[in-house]
Amino acid sequence: MRLTRWVSAIPAPVKLLVAPPLMGVPFLLVNANGSVPAIARVIALFVTSEMLWAPTSQAVVADLAPADIRERGPPSSASMGHPVATSAWWGPR
């Protein structure tokens, strides 16, 4: 991704500190101004910050994995995302 290449010189801790607030704070703009241009700005900021945050956080998690299980294909946690998300609705009411 082009954005990822542009910010490759920025250290991971800085990206992980800047990106999450950049994802959430623009939603306050919707409360102040719900116009279409304001919502378009919020979406653009959210997508940009997610493009900073996601690869960086995945790289940090990959670095935390033990060396003998790195790069073995899809992580088991990714395969459990769907069953966990769907079983949350099956609980008692």
Contacts of 54 by beta carbon, 8 Å cutoff, 6+ apart: none
The rounded distance, in Å, linking the Cα atoms of 33 and 76 is: 42
Which tokens hold the place of 27? 């939603």
One digit per residue, pLDDT tens: the chain, 93 residues?
677 788 888 898 898 898 888 888 888 888 888 899 989 999 999 998 888 888 888 888 878 877 777 666 555 555 445 554 455 445 455
Chain centre to alpha carbon of residue 18: 12
